[in-house]
Amino acid sequence: MKKNVFILAVIFVFGVSVGNADKIKKLSLDDASTAGTTIINDKSVKVEGKASLRIQTLWPTVICLGEAEGLNIEEARLIYSASVKSDLSGSAYLEMWVHVDGGQYFSRGLNDTVEGAVDWKTIRTAFLFQKGQKPDKVTLNIVINGRGTVWVDDVRLSGERQK
């Protein structure tokens, strides 16, 4: 009896047709600006090279700037740095996800941020590897808490051996 009641409950909950559902909102992607975040190369605002990355957002977002694999680093401090310029209502900081032996760990540069209208500033976050720990992969993000524009340039990943 309990099994039949459970099966009927599952059919009732999951058996609702999508065609009968009330539409709450439809997102049109005909115009990229409706996605709330646009990313372009900006050749006129840069620190080095030919361009920076300009990120314009209407709300908080996380943007992956890249990944690094095959790093031969152990018992060291890994440092992720970038030059960042902002015109924000809010703040932005760097975030690094480190993949080690199937686990994922992060470092957030919450003490090294840009806020409001700031000219180029180098911000950083670091991760300390213990003896025997080697990263499988490192993911480099910028976290934007607010709305406005952030420019990112001169992204670097470096290591310092621990003594």
**Model confidence over 22-36: pLDDT tens digits?**
888 777 778 777 778
Q: What is the pLDDT of residue 9?
A: 46
Residue indicated by tokens 């025997």? 132
What is the residue extent of each domain of the chain?
24-161
58-75 pLDDT tens trace: 999 999 999 999 888 888
What is the identity of the amino acid at 135?
A: P
Q: How far apart are CA 116 and CA 114, in angstroms?
A: 7
**Cα dihedral angle (47, 53, 54, 58), rounded to 10 degrees?**
-140
8 band by pLDDT with thresholds 50, 70 and 90: very low
User: What is the H or E stretch that residue 6 is in?
Assistant: helix 2-14
Per residue in 97-118, pLDDT (tens digit) is 999 988 999 999 999 999 999 9
Neighbours of 101 (CB within 10 A): 9
DSSP single-letter state for residue 11: H
- What's the pTM value of the predicted model, to 2 decimals? 0.80
Among residues of the chain, what percentage have pLDDT more than 90?
A: 63
Query: Could you tell me which CATH class the domain 24-161 is placed in?
Result: mainly beta
CA-nearest of 132, 139, 85, 141 to 109 is: 141
- Judge whether residue 13 has pLDDT over 90: no
pLDDT at 6: 47
CA 65 to chain centroid, in Å, comes to 7
Q: What average pLDDT does this structure show over 105-133? A: 95
Contact between residue 70 and residue 86 where contact means Cβ atoms under 8 Å apart: no
What residues contact 111, with CB distance under 8 A and at least 6 apart? none
Give Cα 41 distance to the centre of its chain.
18
SS3 assignment, position 127: strand
